[in-house]
Structure 1
């Protein structure tokens, strides 16, 4: 019985730094979105460099505005997916706190997923504002949460490639 309690305590405390990272990402995401909502109207833009603008865009869909023109059901569908993903990630963090790259990736995805769930719940859309462009081509606008999710996804792929490489060695 004591072994299980020790394992639980060790596992729980091992995931705290990763939850802290997710919280920092979440706070940065929400803070920047509050600034955008406070200072920009929908469609407003500020040119920062020749390849980067700050804009205010509302995304009712998922990544790259997937399903943005659906009838409104996607708000709760993507919210449910985000909540389910967050719960699964917390469980994974609890199970693998010592795997640094893996846990870093999960923490980034967790912070981003929760940030976008908050937007969908409060506003019915996700606030995007980072607009990179080149020669008239614009990458879809995104936010800090999206960047966290993307960085986390890349790190998950890297972690798996490194794990497979170690297994072959």
Structure 2
């Protein structure tokens, strides 16, 4: 899917990952030039206080995965080097048993072993699940996104590497 950075995005099923205590999200992304700060590859949750997202460019200049039930000031995160632009990159975030791992092109780019927030703590209803759009008033993503996958389980490093190899 081509996302134009203006208003193009994909709305996924409501309640995606509702009640989940383990999950993985994987996709291919080709950023069109420098991404806008705080644009989203994905953003799932119930609004600005309870959500999980992946941004190609945080305010700190990093690729960032974050999850929170207490708003931006209470995020549990993983920061990694910024993504390359104008080429396809495979991204994956896995979570299970308190550990979240961020992968870029099948390699671990960051890890947080102290994650205590899970989608099941977002409440009874996940109201938003977007690709290319934030629940905050942030810019939309300008990129191509392909093979967007959501799993209700924690993929292993070998499984992520297999996805990144396209096999």
For this structure pair, what is the TM-score category when the shorter chain's length is used for normalisation? under 0.3
* TM-score, reference length from structure 1: 0.24
Computing the radius of gyration over CA atoms, which structure comes out larger, 1 or 2? 1
Of Structure 1 and Structure 2, which has the larger fraction of its residues in strand? Answer: 2
Of Structure 1 and Structure 2, which has the larger fraction of its residues in helix? Answer: 1
Which structure carries more relative contact order (alpha carbon 8 Å, separation 6+)?
A: 2
